[in-house]
Amino acid sequence: MAFTTPSYDLIDLFSRVDRGDLQLPDFQRDYSWDIDRIRGLLISCLRGYPIGSFMALDVRNEPSRFAYRVVQGAPDQGVDPGLLLLDGQQRLTTLYHSLHGDGVVDTVDFRNKNIQRKFYVDVDRAVSRTILPDDAIFAVDEQGQVRSHYGPVIEGGITDRNSAIAHGVIPLSELLSDDGTDMLFDIAEQRDERALDRIKQFHNQVLKPLVRYQIPMIRLDRETSRGGVGSIFAQANSAGLQMDIFDLLTAVFAAEDEQFHLAAVWEEIAAELAEYPVLRDVTRVDYLTALTMYLTAKSRGWASGAREDILRIDLQQFLAARPVVTAGFVQAAEFLAKRCMYTADMVPYTSQIIPLAVILALLEQRDPHLLDKQGPQDRLNRWFWSGVFGELYGSAAVISRAGRDVTEVTEWIQDAAAIEDALAAQSQTTRAARNTSAADGDTDTAADADPRTAIALGSETDRVPAPASVRSATFVESRLLSVKADSAVFKGIFALIMGRGAKEWRYNEAINARNFHTMEIGFQHIFPTAYCFNHGIDEVLSTSVLNRTPMSAKTDTLIGETAPQRYLPRLQGKSLLDDAEFDEVLSGHLLDPKLLFAQDAQAFFIDRRKRLLKMVQEAMGREAIRDVDEQDLTGGEEGPSAFRTR
């Protein structure tokens, strides 16, 4: 068996795919990358970074030993392939769809929701730093609306070539064609002389390198046996151990002080964090990311946790920041516990703990008493729940969002404290003036407004605008019918119901850190699944978060598979409560006791959806999008039918 290692530019690869020369063996799995992996590959490619090699089997002029098929989305020319791609299908398909043809990619988001996206590059943003920033690449949906983390704000979206030029953006699918160059010239015509330098930069730093970008291919010769191909394919698709950024920084610190061992120091830090169960899933890379965000926020005014920033940390910076950042994580754990999140499994997003810890560390450094004030507390809460119910921290591309949140949320919270102080001073002055007027016989005693009113929501006149994460977070009503137990929304609703003071049905005790574990609290079914099946209750409702509430293991066991009319009197008897008191306990779970006792499932679920939706709206500080159709519960923008079955 022999092989060669030629390299192919992107235009050549796409041409081979189009004419059927490069195809896939039929044993290859289907294309399955989600939007974040796609975007990550495109960013690497436009930065000129290597994306690994491909591997193909030369099958020219040979009898077919494997069934084959064209690359997904490519035209079927009805010809035999010259090369069968053994390794690199996901990468090649991603590049083929994103940088070729109409540029439209059918994929899924991190929640497995079916989406369609087209990628653009912001010309000015692409050359704003030495290394092309993550947010220079963004995606739009079928209507041309921007759908990426921190993409540009474009009124009306990008609907055609003219609107793209007007906003200084180019579709990635045009970059390898003459149309891409033409668009760049058209953008240049609309700019002043100073802006022309950025156009030239883009042409030299992005466009020309992309045209010359090559991918190496291990090309197995045609004599390779079928068994050999199978072995090679299995090996190529098996994961090996990869060096992460922690290992690289270990080497950097060792060069500064050979006696310093980062791994040993991490073990000490990990032991401190392990005292708080909610921090169990925080990794060593998470910690380094948080520490880097803290250092960059302090040194240059905006936070970043990119790999290149982590590698710029020196040992003295690490040692100085370590106690502050560790304390920030401890504060984050306490913040989560106050919101009834007691274990790592209950945390909606471990990735959101990173910016939370850094924000708390920075605020502590600037004013240890700042979060004693209601306004700052409310804004921190609003940001946190916007991230949870807006599902902003579930994707792989959260480092950029986290860095921006650290910068923007910290300033926004400080601004709330300044507003609250100013309003309090103004109120004090007003009261003093009224006291003087009263002494002079003026009897106007109008009540003072609470100076903290509406600070959490902010206004357009605030000195510091609401963070982009808060402004962009949305919640769609139909999501209440599609969330699964591992989703942030599911976990967030579980915690919020407890946080609003819900009492356990059997024990009549408010659920808290003290009794959560002893009572073995879980998020259990209200209408048992067997009851729902036997009574024809729609599975969309019976399996949804609407049919869940916090309860103890003993309560769940007592309920079993029995009807509410049977289990509720038994629970009330155990609780020693009268009817009114027991109804009040049930109401604390955001449900209507009368509908539950009546076993009116349809009315119960409609009512509970309204109550849970109101709770989410209050947490996020904004109205939800209502889209549930009672005649088609699987529909809606975020309903069950919008998601791909795993």
Q: Are 11 and 154 in the same domain?
A: yes
| DSSP string for 243-268 | --HHHHHHHHHHHH-TT--HHHHHHH
Place of tokens 């005014």: 301
Looking at 215, 231, 256, the residue that finishes a domain is 215
Give the pLDDT confidence of 512-549 residue by residue, as tens digits.
999 999 999 999 999 999 999 999 999 999 999 999 99
CB 553 within 8 A of CB 490: no
Asked if the model's pLDDT at residue 202 lies above 80, the reply is yes
What tokens were used for 160? Answer: 């055609």
CB 133 within 8 A of CB 43: no
Place of tokens 């294309």: 31
Asked if the model's pLDDT at residue 205 lies above 60, the reply is yes
Q: Are 162 and 275 in the same domain?
A: no
Closest CA to 286 of 407, 414, 408, 393: 393
Mean pLDDT in residue range 332-352 = 97
Asked if the model's pLDDT at residue 576 lies above 50, the reply is yes
Give the pLDDT band (50/70/90) at residue 423.
confident
Give the pLDDT band (50/70/90) at residue 236.
low
Looking at 363, 388, 416, the residue that finishes a domain is 416
338, containing H or E segment: helix 315-338
pLDDT of residue 586: 98
Q: Kindly report which listed range (87-101, 143-157, 232-246, 436-450) carries the lowest average pLDDT score.
A: 436-450
Mean pLDDT in residue range 34-62 = 92
Q: Are 32 and 116 in the same domain?
A: yes
| Residue 338: domain span | 245-416
Q: Are 481 and 378 in the same domain?
A: no
d(CA 59, CA 84): 7
Q: Are 260 and 208 in the same domain?
A: no
Give the pLDDT confidence of 296-311 residue by residue, as tens digits.
999 999 999 988 899 8
Q: Is 155 helix (H, G, I), strand (E, B) or coil?
A: coil
DSSP character at residue 467: P
Burial of 550 (0-12, 13-18, 19+ CB in 10 A): buried
d(CA 382, CA 11): 47
β-strand 22-25 against 83-87: which pairing, if any?
parallel
- Axis-axis angle for helices 245-256, 315-338 (nearest 10): 140
CB atoms within 10 A of CB 502: 22
CB 524 within 8 A of CB 498: no
Whether residue 635 lies inside any domain: the answer is no
Mean pLDDT in residue range 624-644 = 94
What tokens were used for 445? Answer: 């005693």
Rounded to 5°, angle at Cα 480 from 478 and 482: 80
Mean pLDDT in residue range 237-241 = 50
Asked if the model's pLDDT at residue 410 lies above 80, the reply is yes
pLDDT of residue 506: 95
Three-class SS of 368-417: CCHHHCHHHHHHHHHHHHHHHHCCCCCCCCCHHHHHHHHHHHHHHHHHHH
Mean pLDDT in residue range 558-569 = 96
pLDDT of residue 445: 45
Q: Are 410 and 304 in the same domain?
A: yes
Q: Are 281 and 190 in the same domain?
A: no
CB 621 within 8 A of CB 456: yes
Asked if the model's pLDDT at residue 123 lies above 80, the reply is yes
Q: Are 527 and 575 in the same domain?
A: yes
Give the pLDDT band (50/70/90) at residue 61.
confident
Q: Are 185 and 39 in the same domain?
A: yes
Which amino acid does the sequence have at 597? F
Total domains, the chain: 3
Whether residue 238 lies inside any domain: the answer is no
Closest CA to 355 of 312, 309, 391, 398: 398
Whether residue 45 lies inside any domain: the answer is yes
55 strand-pairing partners: 87, 218
349, containing H or E segment: none
pLDDT of residue 386: 97
Q: Are 482 and 540 in the same domain?
A: yes
Asked if the model's pLDDT at residue 2 lies above 60, the reply is yes
CB 243 within 8 A of CB 30: no
Which segments within 234-347 are labelled E, that is strand?
Answer: none
644, containing H or E segment: none
pTM: 0.82
Give the pLDDT confidence of 166-192 residue by residue, as tens digits.
999 999 999 999 999 999 999 998 877
Average pLDDT, the chain: 90
Asked if the model's pLDDT at residue 150 lies above 90, the reply is no
Give the pLDDT band (50/70/90) at residue 372.
very high
pLDDT of residue 493: 98
DSSP character at residue 103: -
Integer-rounded Cα radius of gyration of the chain = 29
Give the pLDDT confidence of 432-458 residue by residue, as tens digits.
666 666 556 555 544 444 555 456 666
Q: Cβ contacts of residue 174 below 8 Å, gap of 6+?
A: 103, 180, 183
pLDDT of residue 239: 46
**What percent of the chain has a predicted confidence (pLDDT) above 70?**
90
Q: What are phi and psi of 537, to 5 degrees?
A: -75, 130
Asked if the model's pLDDT at residue 482 lies above 70, the reply is yes
